[in-house]
Amino acid sequence: MKEIGEKLKKAREEIGISLDEASTDLKIEKDQLKNLEEGKTDTFKDIINVKYLIRDYAKYLGLNKDDLVDDFNEYLFDYTSKISLNDIMEAKSKKEGKDTKVKSPYTTIKTKSKFNIVLVIVLLVIISAIATITIYSIKNTHKDNIISYVGR
């Protein structure tokens, strides 16, 4: 990550743009650009957003944004794919019927809501009931008209 930051800083300095000017032009806080140039990813709330910051900053500086994003993706893979041996051993020792999978702090688990399924079923029952009542009402009205017409 530090190499990416150094490339960005070198390009900015060669062009003669100050951090203040880049910050104003990009509408990004000066501290964020400075931290990016210094390779301090731990100062960002979400490491994934750093990718977009690199892309925008590289484009602004006239660098090949795709190459820098690829470099960042490699860094991100190394950063997130390494689980320490201690974490694995700790998870292995806690096998007491609990979920013992070691999870990355960057992974979120999405669960399906039972509420949505229940809501769809209730709506289908209501629509079916309305349709049944409407058809029954139309048949009875039609039958009454036939009876009154025949009765004349």
Per-residue model confidence as pLDDT tens digits over 62-104: 888 888 888 888 877 776 666 666 776 777 777 655 555 555 5
Torsion of CA 94, 98, 99, 104, to 10 degrees: -50
CATH no., domain 2-81:
1.10.260.40
Domain extents in the chain:
2-81, 112-152
The model's confidence at residue 148, banded by pLDDT at 50, 70 and 90, is low
The alpha carbon dihedral of 118, 121, 126, 129 has a sign of negative
To the question of pTM greater than 0.75 for the whole model, the response is no
73's CB contacts (< 8 A; 6+ apart) are 51
